[in-house]
A = this chain, B = another copy of it.
Amino acid sequence: MHPTSLEMRVRRFAERVRTIKHVEQALALLNWDAQTMLPKKGVEARSQVIGTLTEQRVRLLLDPQLAEDVAALTEPEAAAQLDEPTREAVRLVKREIERRRAVPLELQRAFAELTTEAEAVWAEARKADDFARFSPYLERIVATVRTFADCWGYEGHPYDALLDDYEPGMTVAKLDALFRELRPPLEALLDRVREAGPVDAAFLRRAFPLDRQRAFVERVLVDIGYDFDGGRLDVSAHPFCTGIHPGDVRITTRYNPHDFVDAFFSALHEGGHALYEQQLPAEWADTPLGEGASMGIHESQSRFWDTFIGLSRPFWERYYPEAVDKFPEVLGDVSFSAFYRAINRIEPSLIRVDADPLTYQFHIFLRYELEKQLVAGELAVADLPAAWRERMRAYLGIAPETDADGVLQDVHWSAGLFGYFPTYTLGNLYAAQLHAAMHRDLDDMDARVREGDFAPIRAWLADRVHRHGRRHSPEALIAQATGEPPTARPFIAFLEEKVRDVYGL
Contacts and interface: CB of A to CB of B under 8 A. Distances in A.
A28 to B, nearest CB: 10
Interface stretch (A49-57, A293-301, A364-372, A381-389): A49-57
A338 interface: no
Contact of A244 (B42, B53, B228, B247): B42
Interface in A427-462: none
A37 B285 CA distance: 21
Interface stretch (A15-23, A148-156, A326-334): A15-23
Interface in A9-47: 18-19, 22-23, 25-26, 29-30, 33, 37-46
A337 interface: no
A39 B285 contact: no
A227 B42 CA distance: 12
B25 A248 contact: no
A230 interface: yes
A5 interface: no
B45 A245 contact: yes
Interface string A227-248: 1111110000000000011011
A42 B285 contact: no
Contacts of A247: 39, 41-45
A4 interface: no
Contact of A26 (B26, B41, B285): B26
A232 B40 CA distance: 10
11 contacts: A18-B52, A25-B49, A26-B49, A38-B248, A40-B230, A41-B229, A42-B244, A42-B247, A45-B245, A46-B248, A56-B56
A233 to B, nearest CB: 11
Interface in A228-274: 228-232, 244-245, 247-248, 250
Copies of this chain, complex-wide, total 2
Contact of A19 (B25, B39, B52, B231): B52
Interface in A184-243: 227-232
- Ranked nearest first, the 10 interchain pairs of A and B with the lowest CB-CB distance are A42-B248, A41-B247, A41-B230, A22-B52, A45-B245, A42-B247, A22-B49, A25-B49, A26-B26, A41-B229
Nearest to A53: B26
A40 B229 contact: yes
A20 to B, nearest CB: 9
Contacts of A285: 45
Contacts of A53: 22-23, 26
A45 B247 CA distance: 8
Contacts of A38: 248
Given A45-B248, A45-B285, A245-B45, A231 B25 contact: no
